[in-house]
């Protein structure tokens, strides 16, 4: 019989290596100090971070799986002429484990979605009342070289009383393809709770035109500078990661220690 403890450590090691390779599930650009501080202050670790952890595949051994709660706590993303700050924490749950001696990735059914983020009037080149932006998964997230995705398809749902209900930048057919890179991995605390802190960046993605925005669609895209070619957009996010074993409970500190994150 194989040693479950050794195998569990293998899972943690593969998961951390994947994180270092580019685990990230959200965008940002050069951070603005005041909005970042406000967003970070709004985040308090709780059991809710893990409430949307994906169900394990049929037959999976719970001790061989971890749920990673990736929480975007601040930063901003630039999409053509639109700059959007992260003003509310965005939680992205990803399950990583071993099945049939292969490392497997699982995400929640229907993907992840952020809470609506207010878009200040000054961020838009035209006066629209009550605009919000919601970051949502737009297609299947596939494992990268080290299992955790090195590319994340997303869309930005844009809401306002003057826009059609389906208005969005990006779609399942033509998503914004983020290729997140991680830096400054370290073990720290937020509110006395252990978290892995990191920075997520990407300046390589293209942004498609907004679609299904109603009569304003032909006006909206030129004013927002969409579509926007790769190299003209950016993402830079402050992020924390918490880890929970499906069998043993929260393991953030041991996960970090096993993989040299201090």
Per-run averaged pLDDT (10 residues), the chain, 262 residues: 46 45 35 38 88 90 92 92 89 86 81 88 73 89 58 90 91 92 90 93 95 90 92 93 95 88 87
Task: Express as a percent the part of the chain with pLDDT over 70.
Answer: 80
Confidence at residue 254, expressed as pLDDT on a 0 to 100 scale = 92
Confidence at residue 246, expressed as pLDDT on a 0 to 100 scale = 96
Confidence at residue 25, expressed as pLDDT on a 0 to 100 scale = 35
Q: Which of 1, 5, 19, 7 is nearest to 252 (CA)?
A: 19
Q: Give the number of domains in the chain.
A: 1
Confidence at residue 33, expressed as pLDDT on a 0 to 100 scale = 35
Tokens for 94, please give them.
């990803």
Confidence at residue 14, expressed as pLDDT on a 0 to 100 scale = 44
Distance CA 47, CA 91 (A): 12
Confidence at residue 30, expressed as pLDDT on a 0 to 100 scale = 33
Beta-carbon contacts of residue 41 (< 8 Å; ≥ 6 apart): none
Confidence at residue 262, expressed as pLDDT on a 0 to 100 scale = 87
Confidence at residue 140, expressed as pLDDT on a 0 to 100 scale = 79
Domain range for 73: 4-258
Confidence at residue 12, expressed as pLDDT on a 0 to 100 scale = 52
Confidence at residue 9, expressed as pLDDT on a 0 to 100 scale = 54
Give the predicted TM-score (pTM) of the model: 0.81
Confidence at residue 37, expressed as pLDDT on a 0 to 100 scale = 38
| Class of residue 5 by CB neighbours under 10 A (exposed 0-12, middle 13-18, buried 19+) | exposed
Q: Which of 154, 166, 173 is nearest to 217 (CA)?
A: 166
Confidence at residue 260, expressed as pLDDT on a 0 to 100 scale = 83
Task: Express as a percent the part of the chain with pLDDT over 90.
Answer: 46
Instruction: Spell out a b/e string for 92-105, using b for 16 or more CB atoms within 10 Å of the CB, else e.
Output: bbbbbbbbeeebbb
């Amino acid at each position: 019989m194989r040693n479950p403890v050794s195998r569990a450590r293998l899972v943690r090691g593969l998961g951390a290596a994947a994180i270092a390779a580019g685990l990230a599930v959200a965008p940002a650009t050069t951070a603005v100090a005041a909005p970042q501080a406000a967003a970070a202050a709004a985040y308090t670790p709780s059991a809710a971070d893990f409430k949307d952890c994906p169900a394990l595949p049929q037959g999976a051994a719970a001790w061989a799986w971890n749920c990673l709660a990736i929480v975007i706590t601040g930063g901003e993303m630039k999409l053509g002429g639109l700059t959007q700050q992260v003003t509310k924490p965005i939680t992205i749950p990803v399950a990583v484990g071993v099945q049939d001696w292969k490392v497997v990735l699982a995400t929640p059914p229907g993907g992840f979605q952020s809470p609506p983020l207010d878009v200040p009037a000054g961020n838009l080149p035209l006066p629209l009342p009550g605009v919000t932006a919601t970051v949502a998964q737009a297609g299947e997230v596939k494992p990268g070289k080290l299992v955790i995705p090195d590319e994340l398809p997303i869309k930005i749902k844009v809401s306002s009383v003057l826009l059609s209900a389906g208005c969005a930048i990006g779609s399942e057919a033509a998503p914004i393809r983020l290729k997140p890179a991680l830096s400054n991995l370290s073990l720290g605390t937020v509110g006395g709770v252990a978290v892995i802190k990191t920075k997520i960046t990407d300046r390589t993605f293209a942004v498609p035109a907004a679609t299904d925005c109603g009569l304003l669609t032909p006006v909206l895209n030129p004013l927002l500078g969409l579509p926007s070619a790769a190299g003209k957009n950016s993402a830079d996010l402050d992020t924390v990661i918490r880890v929970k074993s499906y069998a043993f409970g929260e393991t953030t500190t041991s996960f970090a220690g096993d993989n040299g994150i201090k």
